[in-house]
Structure 1
Amino acid sequence: MTMMMPTAFYFGYQNVELLFPGLVMNSPTDLVLAVLAIFILALCSEGFKLARENLPLRAASGHRWQLLSWPHLVQTLLHVLQVLLSYVLMLAVMTYNAYFALTVLVGASVGYLLFRWRKNMHTDSDLEDPCH
């Protein structure tokens, strides 16, 4: 049985297909579990972004950057995970289920709030208002 793909955002939990043909939500409990998983993935995506940005700062003090150095390999792995999560989140939004789309937005926002608050305390002098 093939399902018709929606062409507009909708709020629903019946026959909601997520990522794979066999992964279909048919109850409120299924939807809540899917929303929770999407939220965690969005949080992790923001965490991987920050980890990738901070890795060169920590590794620069003691390691030389080479193609196959551990810091570069770790950063490559973090990049792959971040890209993978970004595509999974994009596909969740492309289901046109409004619950999933809102969860991606809220998860990314909460992830930014949790992971970026300390980084944003240290403002760059180039970004500050030159008039003050």
Structure 2
Amino acid sequence: MDHAHHDINSVPAAPMHGDHGDHGDCDSPCADMGHSHAMVFHANVCQEILFNGWLTTTALQLFGSCVAIFVAGVLYEALKYYREALHVRATSATGDSTVNIAKNECGSNGNCTGPSVVKYSMWSGGHVVQTAMHVVQATASYVLMLVFMTYNVWLCLALVLGLGLGYFIFGWRKNTVIDANEHCQ
């Protein structure tokens, strides 16, 4: 049986991603940018970030994106702190920054009945707010993880520095070092 007519070199290559139409001006620095996303760190200016419309083609655009991601990192740390502060306020008997699950109940005449346990109910306003904020925090966490997974050194550096500054600003006020609600660590 002759298999010569099945020579792999004679078969025209099919397009990998189909016809995407015009990618813009051929003089663009990103005109030859492929759609492959190699999983290696790189410092390319041409970078697609999270969405088809968020494409950097100049160093200034990449810098602006880095600033936006830096601010997002700071705001993420602020959200984590704010959630904890709301929880502390809801469960604290004294209103200070310590969590008191048990507190003394004292009546208007000064008679204390002893410790009681502060409980959230499933339908309490505080729990509903905490749930909504948890959803926002989880979403933000995964979106920031996807930014890091672009493997662009500049975007990764901006994110790490933003998270670092956010922790510096808000982390010293936290009551615990271990965050059980952290999604990316």
Quickly name the TM-score band, shorter chain normalised.
0.7 to 0.9
Establish whether residue 104 from structure 1 lines up as the match of residue 159 from structure 2: yes
Matching of residues 28-47 of structure 1 within 5 Å: 28-47=59-78
Q: Which residue of 1 aligns with 2:106?
A: none
- Cα distance, 1:100 vs structure 2: 0.8
Establish whether residue 19 from structure 1 lines up as the match of residue 44 from structure 2: no
Which has the larger helix fraction? 1
Structure 1 residue ranges without an equivalent (≥5): 124-132
Provide the C-alpha distance between the structure 1 equivalents of 2:42 and 2:143, rounded to a whole number of angstroms.
Answer: 19
Whether the 8 Å contact between 1:42 and 1:85 is mirrored in structure 2 is no
Structure 2 residue ranges without an equivalent (≥5): 1-19, 21-33, 94-117, 178-185
- Cα distance, 1:61 vs structure 2: 4.9
Change (3 A) 1:32 1:20: same
Bigger relative contact order (CA 8 A; separation at least 6): 1
Task: Write out the 4+ residue segments of structure 1 that deviate beyond 3 Å after TM superposition.
Answer: 61-64
Counterpart code for 1:39? F
Whether the 8 Å contact between 2:84 and 2:174 is mirrored in structure 1 is no
Of residues 99-108 and 58-67 in structure 1, the stretch that sits farther from structure 2 once superposed is 58-67
Q: Which residue of 2 aligns with 1:55?
A: 86
Q: Which residue of 2 aligns with 1:6?
A: 38
Provide the C-alpha distance between the structure 2 equivalents of 1:97 and 1:88, rounded to a whole number of angstroms.
Answer: 15
Q: Give 1:77's match in structure 2, choosing from 116, 132, 139.
A: 132
Counterpart code for 2:35? M
Of residues 58-67 and 34-43 in structure 1, the stretch that sits farther from structure 2 once superposed is 58-67
Which has the larger strand fraction? 2
Establish whether residue 115 from structure 1 lines up as the match of residue 170 from structure 2: yes
Root-mean-square deviation (Å)? 2.2
Counterpart code for 2:171? R
Q: Give TM-score, length-normalised by structure 1.
A: 0.81
Provide the C-alpha distance between the structure 1 equivalents of 2:173 and 2:87, rounded to a whole number of angstroms.
Answer: 17
Q: Give TM-score, length-normalised by structure 2.
A: 0.59
Of residues 50-59 and 82-91 in structure 1, the stretch that sits farther from structure 2 once superposed is 50-59
Whether the 8 Å contact between 2:69 and 2:158 is mirrored in structure 1 is yes
